[in-house]
Amino acid sequence: MRAITMAIALSVTLATPLVAGDGYTTYAYDGSFEDAAFSVENAIIGAGLVIDYVSHTGEMLSRTAADVGSQTHLFDAADIFVFCSASLSRKMMEADPMNIAQCPYGIFVAERNGEVMIGFRDYPDGIMQEVQALLASIAEEAAAF
């Protein structure tokens, strides 16, 4: 039991948010982009959720930079995992049907200048904090691998 408690404390310590409060929360990932993406995928599935779509945002930004007149390199790699929770979504939309605007949820993995991060956008106060807690638990689990 003591080993489990120590392991949980260590994982929470390792998964301290790198940035929080600017409309998004990120966690540093000590490993490759590919490993971080794999960890996020496993954490989402491990939470009993289904990934609806993976947006390869980094590839799109690189591919379209010249088309929009940009020479700015934003990410070495960036993906967004899009998913939903039927039970949590129902609960938040029963509280306010306009919470539909908050769905689906997304967790991103990005690499910039050799640094890998896992993160998500922050949600408003109230019932949406339950979604925030779900995203934080998934991101923390993924970042602790």
**Structural domain count, the chain:** 1
What are the pLDDT digits (tens) for 29-64? 999 999 999 999 999 999 999 999 999 999 999 999
Residue pLDDT, tens place only, 116-126: 999 999 999 99
CATH number, position 58: 3.30.310.70
Q: How far is CA 33 from CA 4, 12, 102, 110, 118, in A?
A: 28, 21, 27, 7, 9
Q: What is the rounded CA–CA span in Å between residue 53 and residue 56?
A: 10
Q: Which residue range(s) make up the domain with 132? A: 2-144
C-alpha span between 91 and 127 (Å, rounded): 8
- In whole angstroms, give the CA distance from residue 130 to residue 35: 27
pTM score, whole prediction: 0.84
Quick one: how far is CA 27 from the chain centroid? Answer: 9
23 Cβ neighbours under 8 A, 6+ residues apart: 121, 122
